[in-house]
Amino acid sequence: MTSETSAARAEGDRILSIDVVRGMAVLGILLMNIVAMGLPTYAYINPIYGGGTEGADFWTWAVNNVFADGKMRALFTMLFGASAVLIAGRAESGAGLGPVQTHYRRLFWMFVIGMIHAYFFFLGDILVTYALAGALVFPFRRLDPRLLIGLGGALLAALFLWHLSDAGQMKALLASATAPGADEAARTAWAQASQGFVAPPGFSERETALFRGGFLEALEARAQVALLLQLTIPFDAGPEAIGQMLIGMGLFRLGFFSLGWSTRAYVIMIVIGYALAAPFAALQAGLIHAAGFEPVRTHELMVWQSITRPFIALAHASVLLLIVRAGLFRGLVSRLEAAGRMAFTNYLMTSVITSLVFCGYGLGLYGHLSRAEQLWVVAGVWALILLWSRPWLAHFRYGPLEWIWRSLVQWKRQPFRKATAT
């Protein structure tokens, strides 16, 4: 293995391979986010709440469940950790803001933009979680990279055990609430504890009606779920993000994302992800289907499946990194690299577009497309991202929102247009 400095550079001091993997991740995240964008919230957790459980809809759920659900987000989060180390290194060698100022200013504005994003465009926003988790992991960036990976893995393992214990408690509460002669207290305890994965009666119908209404109605529906998700950040999304960021920091410093590993090492990572983790994830998906998507059993099996997320995510990255190393599919790689350089813009732009597609103040397709039919929307957005990112960067230094973000961090207007050759 070699250090990250051995990687080929793209433009300026950017690392091409990191941007390419980030481009794939920002595209892949939409495979799961589209469900929460265009179907009732609980459909993201369980297809019995919307989107279909048979035929093409079932297979769309199954393939995404094994290869995308939590995996693309894990990869995106690891890359956030890697970028924190990379940007801090640039700040240390520059003449402007220092690494601490740069990092925490970036996170402050990310938090502000994330809050706007969560309530006005997409209830499943990840930026607020990144801002909070990123504030905690930054002081650890100088630790030995293997220790960083070990700490991240230990945190994810602890989160798994906590969720597994919680799943056992859910089973016990359900048994108490449904036992003959169960009292009101037992039923109330179950109803409150199960809100994370069992839709309250009438919730999906009311949510659908609101999203098919005007802008204020959609804002009301979005705010309910966004607030609930943000309140759970310290207990779920936050620890997971911290663990994955620490792993990303360690892997970056070991050269994983910058082509510093041997081809054999990447192949081993692919084997672990696809030959070991993916079959285990597929087994859990099969058991979920066999249980008829019963919510409590589904919740328990999804907890077991969470073990596979980092391994499958890194297998995806390893395949793409070997493609970059071999110089294959250069046209596609170039477009993925541009999409990755503009990941902030493309992530937020995706939410704006889909809100106009699904909400009543746009095309009003919320709840009308099945899980499989939503893939047409995904394909359209992917095509747009891949088509526009490279031409934009041919004329501008950054994506539009990246430029705004940088200008806010530096608190002065940053150069935007590229110099025109004479």
Tell me, what amino acid is at 48? I
How do residues 11-39 score in pLDDT, each as one tens digit?
556 799 999 999 999 999 999 999 999 99
The C-alpha atoms of residue 58 and residue 61 are separated, in whole angstroms, by: 5
pLDDT tier for residue 68 given thresholds of 50, 70 and 90: very high
Is the pLDDT higher at 198 or at 364? Answer: 364
Q: Report, as an integer, the average pLDDT of 217-232.
A: 94
The answer to whether position 421 is within a domain reads no
Model pLDDT, residue 177: 84
C-alpha angle with apex 275: 272 to 278, nearest 5 degrees? 90
Q: Report, as an integer, the average pLDDT of 391-419.
A: 93
pLDDT tops 50 at residue 7: no
Longest dimension (CA), the chain: 85
Model pLDDT, residue 2: 41
Model pLDDT, residue 50: 87
Model pLDDT, residue 307: 96
The answer to whether position 87 is within a domain reads yes
Query: Which of the 8 DSSP states describes residue 15?
Result: B
How do residues 49-67 score in pLDDT, each as one tens digit?
988 899 999 999 999 999 9
Domain count, the chain: 1
pLDDT tops 60 at residue 421: no
For residue 235, what are the domain limits?
4-410
Percent of the chain clearing pLDDT 70 (strictly above): 96
pLDDT tier for residue 174 given thresholds of 50, 70 and 90: confident
Model pLDDT, residue 422: 41
Q: Report, as an integer, the average pLDDT of 171-175.
A: 87
Q: Report, as an integer, the average pLDDT of 101-130.
A: 96
Worst-scoring range by mean pLDDT, 170-184, 221-235, 291-305?
A: 170-184
pLDDT tops 90 at residue 210: yes
129 contacts 237 by C-beta, under 8 angstroms: yes
- b/e per residue, 346-382, with b = 16+ CB within 10 A? bbbbbbebbbebbbbeeeebbbebbbbbbbebbeebb
The answer to whether position 21 is within a domain reads yes
pLDDT tier for residue 194 given thresholds of 50, 70 and 90: confident
The overall average pLDDT reported for the chain is 92
The answer to whether position 417 is within a domain reads no
pLDDT tier for residue 225 given thresholds of 50, 70 and 90: very high
Helix (H, G, I), strand (E, B) or coil at 342: coil
The answer to whether position 419 is within a domain reads no
pLDDT tier for residue 6 given thresholds of 50, 70 and 90: very low
Q: Report, as an integer, the average pLDDT of 249-266.
A: 96
pLDDT tier for residue 367 given thresholds of 50, 70 and 90: very high
The answer to whether position 260 is within a domain reads yes
Query: Which of the 8 DSSP states describes residue 306?
Result: G
